[in-house]
Amino acid sequence: MRELKILAIVIFFTAVTYWGVEPYAHSQMHPHVAPADFRFKDMEPLHVNGNVDNGKALVEANCLACHGIESVGYAAPMSSEDAAGAYGVVPPDLSHAGVIYAKNYLAGFLKDPVSATKLSHKFNDAKPYAMPSFAFLSDQEIADVVAYLQNIVATKPSDKEVFEEACGRCHSMKYDAWNAKTPIASMKNYLGAEAPDLSMMIRSKKAEYLNTFINEPLKMVEGIAMPRVGLSEASQSQVIAYIEKVGDRKKAERESLGLKLIGFMAIFTLIAYLWKVSIWKRAA
């Protein structure tokens, strides 16, 4: 009885200390923010249905000067190095853009890229953003472009493909042998910061943080150069799954081995307890 009382006291003070330095301290250091918004409510949704054929014509006329769409046979017009030199950053291939990015975001991005990406602190009239605004298109035309981009996606991209298209232009993934398409020097010049390697991001930031952060970086880190990329909820979870696959490759092994180790020690403890009882019966 006395031992249990002592144990309760030890556990109580340990738990209070733990609570103070972990959950409580972290809640103070990282104040609560609104959850991720995958509907991108700040941008006016389109109220018209797009026409795929019109969209195709519009894309061919307006997008292909800079972007490739490899899945339908349009190669990128320039090599990555040349594109990075010309625009500051390598423009994305649009093969899966229709599913990778949220529909509402795509429309808003076409109309006003700087507002959509929330990069007005980095780009303005003096330093224009690489992607021009297509605000001169009507809502119908924008809906047509979006419809076309959605239509050409034949197969769901893999986790890694989503990562490469959505993140891999700026970020490297050293532990999976992926180098950012845009050279580091161009990146620095373009955004004023190096884009970090994402190999260990899952351990340094954790999935929960990444989910809010990727959805809207500026909400989490003041003045950060990373744009809001506008991933749909599904493709963002694919990106996080890929980051986890690379950065925490042994997670499954860890979680299954954990049960065995705990089981082993529990049996050890039980046997030790029985042995102790039998010995102390004689002694005390």
Partner 1 sequence: MAQIKKAEGFIDWLDQRLAVKAFMRVMMSEYWIPKNINFLWAMGVVLIALFAVLLVTGLLLLMYYKPDVNLAFDSVNYTIMQEVEYGWLWRHMHGVAASATFLIIYIHLFTAIYYGSYKKGREMIWLTGMVLFVAFSAEAFSGYMLPWGQMSYWAAQVITNLFSGIPVIGDEVVIWIRGDYVVADATLTRFFMLHVVLLPLVILAVIAVHFYSLRFPHVNNQDSVELDFEAEAQKYKEGRIKESRVVPFWPVFLSKDFFVVGFFMTFFFFLVCYHFDFAMDPINFEPANSMKTPAHIYPEWYFLWNYEVLRGFFFDIGGIAAMDIGLIAFVFANVVFFLLPFLDRNAMNTAPAHKRPAFFVWFWLLIVDMIVLTVYGKLPPTGVNAWVGFFAAVVFLGLFIALPFITKLESKGERQ
Report how far residue 87's alpha carbon sits from residue 147's, in angstroms, rounded to the nearest whole number: 26
Q: Taking CB under 8 A as the criterion, which residues in 3-42 touch partner 1?
A: 3, 6-7, 10, 13-14, 16-18, 20-22, 24-25, 28-29
List beta partners, residue 179: none
Structure token digits, residue 52: 């795929």
Would you count residue 255 as binding partner 1 (CB under 8 A)? yes
For every residue of 232-277, DSSP letters joined together read -HHHHHHHHHHHHHHHTTTHHHHHHHHHHHHHHHHHHHHHHHHHHH
Q: What is the DSSP letter of 231?
A: B
| SS3 category, 137 | coil
Query: C-beta of 45: minimal distance to partner 1 in Å?
Result: 36
Q: Which of 128, 184, 203, 234 binds partner 1 (CB under 8 A)?
A: 203
Site size toward partner 1, by CB under 8 A? 49
Q: Which CB, 39 or 203, lies closer to partner 1?
A: 203
* Residue 36 backbone zone (phi > 0: left; psi -120 to 50: alpha; other: beta): beta
Q: Which CB, 41 or 250, lies closer to partner 1?
A: 250
Q: At a CB cut-off of 8 Å and minimum separation 6, what does 225 contact?
A: 119, 122, 191, 192, 193
Query: C-beta of 248: minimal distance to partner 1 in Å?
Result: 8
Q: Which of 205, 220, 224, 241 binds partner 1 (CB under 8 A)?
A: 205
Q: Which CB, 33 or 273, lies closer to partner 1?
A: 273
Contact residues toward partner 1 (CB under 8 A) are: 2-3, 6-7, 10, 13-14, 16-18, 20-22, 24-25, 28-29, 174-175, 196-197, 199-200, 203-206, 249-250, 253-255, 257-258, 261-262, 265-266, 268-269, 272-273, 275-276, 279-280, 282-284
